[in-house]
Amino acid sequence: MLGQLAVGTLLSGLVAGFARKRGSLSDSGAMAALVVGAAIYCSGGPRWFAALLLFFVTSTLLGRVGRARKEALRREYSKGDTRDAWQVLANGGVAALCGLLVAFSGDPSSAFGCLAGGFVGALATATGDTWATEIGPLSSRAPRSLLGLRRVPAGSSGAVSGLGLVATGAGGGLVGLVFGLWEPSEIVAWTLLGGLSGAAGAFVDSLLGARLQARFFCERCARACEGAVHHCGARTRHSGGLRWFGNDTVNVIATICGAALGALLRL
């Protein structure tokens, strides 16, 4: 256990340090990534860490695709490219918890049971949602809100597009595929589990974003945004959703739902 923890801490530290240097993580985000990565490696070894690494690497690379086109959207609807500790934990915390439950269960077979399914489901949700967030805005058509299916501006909370839906399934399925490489006879089952649980979790994410996530409006710029202070520096007006219900809260609930479905599919 101690040896595996040391290896996990070393590998996670290298990845987190590289991400911090590239500006993908803040100082707090790098520390959170170190803890999450070490916990997952210590619990599940290279197999589980490979799935986590896939999420991180692909999310970072896709963030640079069409960057100029997405720059304005990031200012209005997100915290930016640099993830802080809350964002890291909101996306990876549930997966890490599944790993820790395996580590302390005292039953090695749990690693291939419902807790492993929960881990893949949570990580597939985070990956699918991130892929949709990065690829969806590149669609030539405006997305639709899940509420009423009306066209809304790209980047709006709860908005979905055909391209984003494909990205969601592909991202979740790839997580399952990578996890299944260590168990060739089950690779199709794990790929399907990742795709299904990731899509379900991402759907919950979009639904919560459309219905409950806090929305604000900048009177100075006449633009909708997701923060109490707009990037122009002006205080914004709360225009919908629950004021305390931010994107990190949405991500936590969505990954819990993805983990629950993933665990159920492995019972």
Residues comprising the chain, all counted: 267
Which amino acid, residue 148?
G
- For the chain, the domain total comes to 1
pLDDT of residue 78: 53
User: At residue 229, what are phi and psi to the nearest 5 degrees?
Assistant: -125, 125
pLDDT of residue 71: 63
Q: How far is CA 51 from CA 64, 125, 171, in A?
A: 21, 12, 11
pTM score over 0.95: no
pLDDT of residue 106: 61
pLDDT of residue 157: 74
pLDDT of residue 221: 82
**21-69 pLDDT per residue, tens:** 888 899 999 999 999 999 999 888 899 999 999 999 898 888 777 665 6
Mean pLDDT for each 10-residue chunk of the chain (267 residues)? 84 92 90 94 91 91 69 58 88 93 68 84 95 83 78 75 90 96 94 96 91 86 78 84 89 97 93
CA distance 202 to 26: 25
pLDDT of residue 5: 83
Instruction: Say if residues 143 and 209 touch (Cβ distance below 8 Å).
Output: no
Instruction: Say if residues 29 and 84 touch (Cβ distance below 8 Å).
Output: yes
Distant-in-sequence, close-in-space partners of 49: CB < 8 Å, separation ≥ 6: 8, 11, 37, 40, 41
Beta bridge partners of 218: 223
- Say how far residue 141 (Cα) sits from the centre of its chain: 24
Which amino acid, residue 102?
V
Instruction: Say if residues 8 and 40 touch (Cβ distance below 8 Å).
Output: yes
Q: Residue 218: helix, strand or coil by DSSP? A: strand
Number of CB atoms found within 10 A of residue 78's CB: 16
User: At residue 151, what are phi and psi to the nearest 5 degrees?
Assistant: -70, 135
User: At residue 261, what are phi and psi to the nearest 5 degrees?
Assistant: -65, -40
Structural domain of 88: 2-265
pLDDT of residue 99: 87
Q: Which two tokens stand for residue 101?
A: 């439950």
